[in-house]
A and B are shown apart, each in its own frame.
Chain A
Amino acid sequence: MRLKLNGTDLEFQDGITVAGLLKNLEIEPAKVAVEVNLKIIKKQDYQEQILKDGDSIEIVNFVGGG
């Protein structure tokens, strides 16, 4: 299935969860925030949240800023 991840269309296996996606991308869940179709997903829900074809996902972290 196709997901829009941080603005880029990418292919992932069907039924992947947020936790699975982060693992796949080698991203430590503690350091990021995840939004699926503009809705923030709580960290405790990463395991249960199953992603669907066409979902738009944003994964953000902190960078240098003033």
Chain B
Amino acid sequence: MDDKLVIRGIEFKSRLWVGTGKYKDFEETKRAIEASGADVVTVAVRRVNIFDRKSENLFDYIDPKKYKILPNTAGCYTVEDALRYARLAREAGISDLIKLEVIGDEKTLFPDTCGLLKATEILAEEGFIVLPYTNDDPVMAKRLVDAGAAAVMPLAAPIGSGLGIRNPYNIKIILEQAKVPVIVDAGVGTASDVVVAMELGCDAVLLNTAIAGAKDPIVMAEAMKHAVIAGRLAYKAGRIQRKLYATASSPIEGML
């Protein structure tokens, strides 16, 4: 079944996208990402350690030729900072892809959507393929697309919270309106949360902590891989209607 996700002409093999943060070490990062089957990995932009050049680099373990590298602007609280990090990421990397974050609050890490909209507009104008991390607000999702976002990435719940999709109805409305792919980003806790997102019709799920923070990240990565596939297939298959009363599966005819 040919069911590939395409964003601005870029073909993605997997509908599971994963982060590379919070792992015990690079070896665990590598093994978890391999087990997840994801072909997109997110990374952050940070200062090079100029005093310890012997220290290992993420790309010694994650081959950028094998994976699509999606840099983020995590930790940016202003439009100016987000633009600065995005531009540095493009110069350090090989593509125009950017997971745009403009954070509005330290405790919830909810996006500052006013700043996000502004930054999306500027970066789209500069030729970036902007994938904004936003809240589950259908109106804002629409505005971001109008501003040039290549996809919208509404949160399921606060980053790292593991609460799962807190507002499936809003996600559904975003999906109904969207002219671009919708990727649930942040807040999923376990495989069933991923299945819910995919059954709603989301195009992909991006997660980090749910795998990295699990007791066994490698096994959870594999569970997430199956969850995305199961949810997508169920969505494509079309589920039965919910009913209050039973309908027998075995025939009445031929009973004694």
Contact = CB atoms under 8 A, between A and B. Distances in A.
Given A31-B57, A43-B91, A64 B21 contact: yes
Given A26-B53, A66-B208, A35 B88 contact: yes
B201 interface: no
B21 A65 contact: yes
A42 to B, nearest CB: 7
Interface in B14-46: 19-23, 26, 29, 42-46
Which of B50, B71, B88, B93 has most chain A Cβ within 10 Å? B50
Place the interface of chain A in its size category: 20 to 34
A26 B58 CA distance: 17
Which of A7, A8, A26, A63 has most chain B Cβ within 10 Å? A63
Which of A8, A42, A61 has most chain B Cβ within 10 Å? A61
B89 interface: yes
A63 B42 contact: no
A60 B58 contact: no
B229 interface: no
Place the interface of chain B in its size category: 35 or more
B72 A25 contact: no
B159 interface: yes
A10 B69 CA distance: 32
A65 B74 contact: yes
A61 B48 contact: yes
Interface in A1-33: 5-8, 25-27, 31-33
A62 B88 contact: no
A63 B58 contact: yes
Given A34-B91, A38-B84, 5 more contacts: A31-B57, A40-B88, A63-B44, A63-B58, A64-B26
Interface of A: 5-8, 25-27, 31-35, 38, 40, 42-43, 58-66
A-B pairs with lowest CB-CB distance, top 10: A65-B44, A66-B19, A66-B208, A33-B92, A33-B91, A64-B20, A62-B43, A33-B88, A6-B47, A64-B21
